[in-house]
Structure 1
Amino acid sequence: MIDLDAYARDGFAVLPDFVSSEACEALKARAAELVLEFEPSGVPTAFSTVDQAHARDRYFRDSGGAIRFFVEAEAPAQLNKIGHALHDLDPVFDRFSRQPRLAALAHALGLAEPLLLQSMYLFKQPHVGAEVAWHQDATFLRTDPPSVTGFWIALDDADRGNGCLIALPGAHRGPLRQWFGYQDGDLVDRTLDSTPWPSVEPVPLEVRRGTLIVLHGLLPHASTANRSSRPRQAYSLHVIDGRADYPADNWLQRPDLPLRGFA
């Protein structure tokens, strides 16, 4: 299923044809239904990894245990993503996220007590889909010891033209650079280690629809903007190990929605 030696070397693994075309279309159809049911009120919250302005909004802060809709900062008529508890609160995404193959993959990666922490439906809209800045997932979903692992599923073909993922192979062996969480009641970014990213060539992860990309929580990765006429939708699921400590200063908290595993 996965080459664990290559994953340990690179910090990512690409698994083609992990998800059928029918399953991809089912997730896209359900996301479209959720969008039709969405009734915005007030000023929508724009999501941006560049300036983290969304961190000021209660709508974002309370989204860890909810299904919330976020727009593009530079194109507020377009959705950026849906997050962050689709896997628990929507039956279609729940069934998909807890399929036995994903559970087996989590265990193969050494997550002895896997817990599904966060899910995101990522639109990366044609022409206006924003870039995602270089980051480590553990910056936002920190455990002690580090355990967060990303499952990123391409629902459309993804390439350099429409904003595929880009990774720095092997750079997951370095330290956690940034931390994003609560400090004195505010969500802030804080530098933990100023070591620059390693001087390695970024690798574009160009994949076909149905591919699953596994991302180590310390792997630096990003994606470019989508300026093409093609969509680049994806579903992302983040899993942590229940044996690790999940600090109370993490931004994502779920006081009314306990974490669950794959069962």
Structure 2
Amino acid sequence: MAFYPDAVLDLLASPILMAIARDICGPDAVPLQCDALFKHNHLESEISWHQDALHARKFPYLNVGIYLDDAPLGDGCLQYITKSQHKKQDIGKLVSQYGWDLPDMVKVPVKAGDILIQDMMVLHGSQMKRDPGVRRTIYVEMRPATAVLDQGAQSREWMALRKRWMGIVLRRSKSKWPEDSYTALTKDLKSDSEEIEKILRLREPPIPANYGL
């Protein structure tokens, strides 16, 4: 968001991302992070097995991947372990025993334009990219505001700014949103640039991932 705020806001305001936020996370859904991953054909391009953002699992917590390039089988596409999201995994023990061939592993080839929605705690990774060129993926974290306040990993001020961020998104979106939530989130908003400046001034670390190291 710091580098291409208008592009990020347009993406978040798109009907499909609005539907994901509203229908899975609920009326108080907020975007927490937006990052871009560039995966090159390189020996060190693999992403080790890990779980993102361990949490108490009382609320939905999503990582939405928007693929700008193909990720075919045999070229370092996403791999995940079914039903692994329900608890913290002993990744070091699993990797020492199985390497990349963990039990219940599924590979997920995708095409440019596809969207993958994953639980933040599902065990996943990707092997080395072998084909020439770069693979670009945009990742958006979404979670109910209630869940962020419940876990307490970030401050109330930080969460209040994420609500205002969602307010900016809703203001430019044409998607249907519950009226009471829409009114609360869009109330008293200033210009996009003023709101973005306030958001960027307060940076707090995300919830750590589990790599089993």
| TM-score, normalised relative to structure 2 | 0.62
Shift of 1:100: 2.5
Does the Cα contact within 8 Å between 2:84 and 2:123 map onto a contact in 1?
yes
Shift of 1:253: 10
The whole-number CA distance in structure 2 between the counterparts of 1:222 and 1:106 is 24
Shift of 1:118: 0.6
- Residue in structure 2 matched with residue 116 of structure 1 by the alignment: 31
- Residue in structure 2 matched with residue 245 of structure 1 by the alignment: 148
The answer as to 2:53 corresponding to 1:138 is yes
1:102-144 CA distances to partner (integer Å, 9 max, x unpaired)?
A: 11122222433111001111110233562111112223xx466
Structure with larger Rg? 2
Gaps of 5+ in 1: 1-65, 68-85, 179-190
Q: What residue identity is the alignment partner of 1:219?
A: V
Equivalence map 1:221-236=2 (5 Å): 221-236=124-139
Q: State which of 81, 91, 96 in structure 2 corresponds to 1:168.
A: 81
Q: Secondary structure of 2:11's partner? A: helix
Q: Please give the root-mean-square deviation of Cα atoms over the aligned residues, in Å.
A: 3.3
The answer as to 2:70 corresponding to 1:157 is yes
The whole-number CA distance in structure 1 between the counterparts of 2:125 and 2:80 is 7
The whole-number CA distance in structure 2 between the counterparts of 1:128 and 1:196 is 22
Does the Cα contact within 8 Å between 2:77 and 2:127 map onto a contact in 1?
yes
Gaps of 5+ in 2: 96-101, 171-213
Mark the CA change 1:253 to 1:205 in structure 2 (over 3 Å): closer, same or farther: farther
The whole-number CA distance in structure 1 between the counterparts of 2:156 and 2:138 is 21
- Return the structure number with greater relative CO, CA threshold 8 A, min gap 6: 2
Does the Cα contact within 8 Å between 2:21 and 2:30 map onto a contact in 1?
no
The whole-number CA distance in structure 2 between the counterparts of 1:137 and 1:111 is 21
The whole-number CA distance in structure 2 between the counterparts of 1:170 and 1:177 is 11
Shift of 1:205: 0.6
- Residue in structure 1 matched with residue 41 of structure 2 by the alignment: 126
The whole-number CA distance in structure 1 between the counterparts of 2:68 and 2:8 is 13
Q: Secondary structure of 1:258's partner? A: helix
Does the Cα contact within 8 Å between 1:158 and 1:208 map onto a contact in 2?
yes
- Residue in structure 2 matched with residue 106 of structure 1 by the alignment: 21
Mark the CA change 1:256 to 1:238 in structure 2 (over 3 Å): closer, same or farther: closer
The whole-number CA distance in structure 1 between the counterparts of 2:129 and 2:158 is 36
| TM-score, normalised relative to structure 1 | 0.51
The whole-number CA distance in structure 2 between the counterparts of 1:129 and 1:155 is 21
Richer in helix (by share)? 2
The whole-number CA distance in structure 2 between the counterparts of 1:137 and 1:120 is 14
Counting matched residue pairs gives 159
The whole-number CA distance in structure 1 between the counterparts of 2:70 and 2:51 is 23
Does the Cα contact within 8 Å between 1:124 and 1:232 map onto a contact in 2?
yes
